[in-house]
Amino acid sequence: MNFKASQIAEFLKGKVEGDPDALVNDVSKIEEGKENTLTFLANPKYTKYIYETKASVVIVNNDFTAEKELDVTLIRVPDAYRALAALLELYEKSIPQKTGIEQPSFIDESAELGEDVYVGAFAYIGQNVKLGNNVKIYPQAYIGDNVEIKDNSIIYAGVKIYRDCKIGNNCIIHSGAVIGSDGFGFAPDENGEYKKISQIGDVILEDFVEIGSNSTIDRATMGSTVIHKGAKLDNLIQIGHNVEVGSRTVMAAQTGVAGSTKIGEECMMGGQVGIAGHLNVPDRVKFGAQSGVPNSIKKEGETLLGTPAMNATDFAKSFIIFKRLPDLYKKVSEMEKTLNNIREK
C-alpha cells in the first residue's frame, strides 16, 4: 500500500518540506535507503547519509538544518525517533492477530481462558491457570499451575513460566525466557555438602513489562521477586531471587542482579552490569556498560562507571591516570636508578 508524504505528516502532526505527493510503500535504514521507502534521522552520527540516501521521505527533528541541497522530501517533527515508533506501532497493529486454540496442545480443564485467546501448537497450560482477554501463548510455551496472565500479554515460543507466577496486563515475554525458576539458594551442612533451600515464593511482573529472549527471573525464597510497571529487560538478563526492579527501569543485555537487591525507578543499566546481592539502588541511577556494583548506592540520579562503580567524573579522572601508568612506571624506574647511583657514589 502506498502512502503520500502528506498523509504521513498528517498522522504524525508534522510538516512536509519538499514534495507532499512523494509516495512510500516500505521503510528502510537511512544508510540503505531505497526509492519509495520511508526512513528517519534522529542520531547526528548518521547525518551524512541524508545527503546520499535513495529513500523518498525522511523524518527529521524540527531543529535539523541541511548543510547541502537535499534530494529527499522531509517531514519535520519534534522527535523523529518517537514519530517512527508511532508509525511502526501502527503497522504492527495492521498485521492480522492470531486467535484460537491450535492442536496438538494441552489445556487443563481447570484453566480459565478469556476472550480472543490464542494458544499455539504444543503449548502446555497447567491447572488453575487464568488467561485474560487477548492473551497470546505461542507454540511450545509452558504455563505452570496457578499462573495468572492478564489482558493483552504476549508469551512467545518456548517461554517457561513456573507455577504461581503472575504476569500483568500488556506484558511481552520473548522466546526462551524462564520466569519463576528456583533462586540460587543452598546451605552447607556439617559435612560441607550443599543442601538446597526450598524456594517457595513467586515472581510478579506488573503491567507493561517486557522481558527479552533467554532472560531468567528467579522466584523468591519467600515472598515475591517483583518487576514493577513499565520496566524493560533486554535479552540474556539474570534477576536473582527476591530482587525488586523499579518502574520504568531498563537493563541492557547480560546484566545480572544478585538476590534481594532493590533497584529504584527509572534506573538505566548498560550491557554486562553486575550488581551484588542485598544492595539498594535509588531512583534514576545510571550504570555504564560493564560496571561492577559491590555496595549500595546512596545518591539518586547519579551516573556510575567502572568496577567498582564510581561517579562518572571520578572515573574519568582515574582513567586519565590509568592510561599514564606505563609512563609513570618508566619515570619511577629511572628515578630509582638515579637514586641508587647517588647512593653508590
The pLDDT tens digits of the residues spanning 122-170 come to 999 999 999 999 999 999 999 999 999 999 999 999 999 999 999 999 9
Listed in sequence order, the residues at least 6 apart from 43 whose beta carbon sits closer than 8 Å to its beta carbon are none
Q: Which domains does the chain have, with CATH numbers?
A: 3-94 (3.40.1390.10), 100-315 (2.160.10.10)
Is residue 1 over pLDDT 80? no
Q: Which one, of 256, 320, 322, 260, lies nearest residue 287 by Cα?
A: 256
Is residue 109 over pLDDT 90? yes
What would the grid cell of residue 131 be? 488467561
CA distance 131 to 255: 30
Residues belonging to the active site = 241
313: Cα separation from own chain's centroid: 26
Q: Which one, of 302, 275, 279, 278, lies nearest residue 290 by Cα?
A: 275
CB neighbourhood size of 106 (10 A): 13
Compute the mean pLDDT over every residue in the chain, rounded to the nearest whole number: 94
Per the DSSP assignment, residues forming a β-bridge with 292 are 274
Label residue 68 by pLDDT band (50, 70, 90): confident
Count Cβ neighbours within 10 Å for each residue of 248-257 and write b for 16 or more, e otherwise. bbbbbbbbbb
Measuring CA to CA, how many Å separate 190 from each of 187, 193, 194, 195, 197?
Answer: 10, 7, 10, 10, 15
What pLDDT, on the 0 to 100 scale, is given for residue 232?
98
Number of residues assigned to the chain: 345
CA distance 209 to 46: 31
Is residue 116 over pLDDT 90? yes
* C-beta of residue 74 within 8 angstroms of C-beta of residue 55: no
What pLDDT, on the 0 to 100 scale, is given for residue 345?
78
| Amino acid in the structure at residue 195 | K
DSSP per-residue codes, 44-88? GGGGGGGGT---SEEEEETT---SS--SSEEEEES-HHHHHHHHH
Measuring CA to CA, how many Å separate 59 from each of 13, 71, 81, 90?
Answer: 12, 14, 9, 16
Label residue 208 by pLDDT band (50, 70, 90): very high
Give the global pTM. 0.85
Listed in sequence order, the residues at least 6 apart from 61 whose beta carbon sits closer than 8 Å to its beta carbon are 41, 42, 76, 77, 78, 79, 80
